[in-house]
Structure 1
Amino acid sequence: MSTTPPERDDAANRELTRAKFYKAEQEAGFVESQPRTTPQQQDPAYRLAFRDTDFLLREELRPVRFQLELLKPDMLLDEAGIGSTLVMYGSARIPSPEMAEAALATATTPEKKAVVERLVAKSKYYEEARRLAFTASRCAVVEEGKRQFVVCSGGGPSIMEAANRGAEEAGAESIGLNIVLPHEQAPNPYVTPHLSFQFHYFALRKMHFLLRARAVAVFPGGFGTFDEFFELLTLIQTGKMKPIPILLFGADYWNRVIDFRAIAEEGVINFEDLELFRMVETAEDAWKHIVEFYALDCD
């Protein structure tokens, strides 16, 4: 093995402020350039720990993976100049208006047809999500050199797709926070590629949804949407997070699936907690509330 340093002792190396240790990327390059001719060099134990995927995937390394999944999106979003986000939650099953007819064709029984018809009736929310994302993206608020109210979705289909699509149609970038699932999936085509992230841990994904969130729009959805929505309510109700606009799209849907007032009447939340969110029907109503909340110079 050669002991000759990659950089000789020249004037640059004698600079007082110059770092004296090589960066990890450089050291990894040194290793890759070396022939692996001995049994010791060929054994997995000899791999650099941070380049050893098998090691990083061990059960004992879960805390390290948590930290990596926290750091990577945060650092890249900061480098991309993202100051705050408009987060949009919602179902992955509601079809876009142009896909409504195809969705109806999938119903093979009267029972399935009734369910699909209810989903198709919600395709109007695809359009509202698209319009809200378009409006917010056109506002282009910039404070302290950072872009504000950048649209952020779960990166998947349906309502999430509508959010990223609306931003793209406004000529703006948008974020997608995808999650690894047992079945095959991919980010929707409207997510900005360098702002498209994939998560292993739901908990870290939900954290990143809210770290930069300055407003959240919640569209009709299932367990995942409920989970995200109620965690947000809990954080604000308990004082762990400062209040932000929470816009709940579709009063008929939400009042049918959740009796919010009954929860308060049972005494397990305060009636004032029902003011943590606002029911809206249109993108205009939602954006107007956000503009008034933050006194934005946008229309």
Structure 2
Amino acid sequence: MSDKHNPSDPVFPSSKTDAAAASHVSSSPQTESEAYKLAFQDTDFLLRDDLRPVRFQLELLKPELLMNEAKIASLFVVYGSARVPEPAKAQEKLANAKTDWDRRVAERLVAKSRYYDEARKLARIASRFPVDEDGQRHFVVTSGGGPSFMEAANRGAHDEGKESIGLNIVLPHEQLPNAYITPDLSFQFHYFALRKMHFLMRARAVAVFPGGFGTFDEMFELLTLIQTGKVRRIPVLLFGKEEFWDKVVDLEALALEGTISKEDLDLITWCETAEEAWAEVCRVYDACDRMDV
């Protein structure tokens, strides 16, 4: 057997090697103690409050490393409600409404449900963006991993036979990832802050569909980061100006009140169709002329 080594071979054994060796130690009061566990295999230790900074780092690193390995260079992010059904299911909800309030809400859901189809179509278009000469993937469709508009986005990529990402979050009530996310790119987060960071670290365009508190949180954080120069400007594509946004928030009033500048309103591109949204992406990124949409 040769005793020669490659200069690039590591000197220390890998963590996997040490973990395997640790699993075969003889049983004794000392080796059975919690203290004897390797730190990275000690779940109770990792879940201590004192280890929160380490968990932050792990939650930052895991998706980052796996996306790098998958050669994902940039994302097309889709924000939106988890509660707006696709059109057929919205009609069912209206038909089954029992009270006046339920009927009014169902009617509004029906009105917004058409954007499910636009989200799906937009994801299909983005998923056709070609892989570059280095094998890097761009405008990879990414959602929060849940139902409604998030599902529509992953579903659109799935229609094209392309991979898509889901960034799910642990919630008190069950929220499973939708069935259209690529399994190896289906991530789960504990920390909202790190989840939002991963949305934006690779984002090159963000489409925002009607939504609730979570969608508002994500949208206004992005607009704030662009406004303050913390991230460079990217297309922020809002769907449903008259149907939804003008009814629930008066952005022009913010400018008239002097709490934002009039120019800040230009950070938003209003859209009604997937084609309009993608046209703005192509205006910003010249490389879109490589596509046959």
> TM (normalized to structure 2)?
0.95
1:15 Cα shift? 4.7
2:275 maps to a residue whose letter is E
Q: Are the equivalent residues in 1 in contact too, given 2:75–2:140 (CA < 8 A)?
A: yes
Partner of 1:161: 151
Partner of 1:263: 254
Query: How many angstroms apart in 2 are the aligned matches of 1:176 and 1:191?
Result: 6
Query: How many angstroms apart in 2 are the aligned matches of 1:109 and 1:77?
Result: 47
Q: Cα distance 1:116–1:18, how it changes in 2: closer, same or farther (>3 A)?
A: same
Q: Are the equivalent residues in 1 in contact too, given 2:129–2:138 (CA < 8 A)?
A: no
**Mean alpha-carbon deviation: is it higher for 251-260 or for 278-287?**
251-260
In our comparison, the structure showing a higher alpha carbon Rg is 1
Q: Are the equivalent residues in 1 in contact too, given 2:154–2:164 (CA < 8 A)?
A: yes
Query: How many angstroms apart in 2 are the aligned matches of 1:139 and 1:116?
Result: 36
Partner of 1:194: 184
Query: How many angstroms apart in 1 are the aligned matches of 2:15 and 2:61?
Result: 17
Q: Are the equivalent residues in 1 in contact too, given 2:168–2:177 (CA < 8 A)?
A: yes
2:17 maps to a residue whose letter is Q
1:119 Cα shift? 1.0
Partner of 1:11: 2
Query: How many angstroms apart in 2 are the aligned matches of 1:255 and 1:56?
Result: 46
Query: How many angstroms apart in 2 are the aligned matches of 1:107 and 1:95?
Result: 14
1:41 maps to a residue whose letter is T
Query: How many angstroms apart in 1 are the aligned matches of 2:130 and 2:274?
Result: 17
Query: How many angstroms apart in 2 are the aligned matches of 1:93 and 1:266?
Result: 32
Q: Are the equivalent residues in 2 in contact too, given 1:152–1:177 (CA < 8 A)?
A: yes
1:220 maps to a residue whose letter is P
Matches within 5 A, 1:1-299: 11-12=2-3, 14-35=5-26, 37-142=27-132, 144-252=134-242, 253-295=244-286, 296-297=288-289, 298=291, 299=293
1:242 maps to a residue whose letter is R
Query: How many angstroms apart in 2 are the aligned matches of 1:12 and 1:99?
Result: 68
1:273 maps to a residue whose letter is D
Query: How many angstroms apart in 2 are the aligned matches of 1:261 and 1:11?
Result: 75
1:14 Cα shift? 5.0
Q: Are the equivalent residues in 1 in contact too, given 2:76–2:205 (CA < 8 A)?
A: yes
1:102 Cα shift? 2.8
Query: How many angstroms apart in 2 are the aligned matches of 1:177 and 1:106?
Result: 32
1:285 maps to a residue whose letter is E
1:38 Cα shift? 0.7
Per-residue CA distance 1:142-200 (angstroms, 9 max, x = gap): 26431000000000000000000000001110000000001112100000000000000
Query: How many angstroms apart in 1 are the aligned matches of 2:227 and 2:191?
Result: 24
1:101 Cα shift? 3.0
Q: Secondary structure of the residue that 1:139 maps to in structure 2? A: coil
Query: How many angstroms apart in 2 are the aligned matches of 1:15 and 1:218?
Result: 52
Structure 1, unpaired ranges of 5+: 1-9
Same amino acid, percent of matched pairs: 61
Q: Are the equivalent residues in 2 in contact too, given 1:150–1:174 (CA < 8 A)?
A: yes
Query: How many angstroms apart in 1 are the aligned matches of 2:210 and 2:25?
Result: 56
2:269 maps to a residue whose letter is R
Structure 2, unpaired ranges of 5+: none
Q: Are the equivalent residues in 2 in contact too, given 1:141–1:149 (CA < 8 A)?
A: no
Q: Secondary structure of the residue that 1:256 maps to in structure 2? A: helix
Q: Cα distance 1:13–1:66, how it changes in 2: closer, same or farther (>3 A)?
A: farther
1:98 Cα shift? 2.5
Per-residue CA distance 1:14-48 (angstroms, 9 max, x = gap): 5544322101111000011223x211111111110
Q: Secondary structure of the residue that 2:231 maps to in structure 1? A: coil
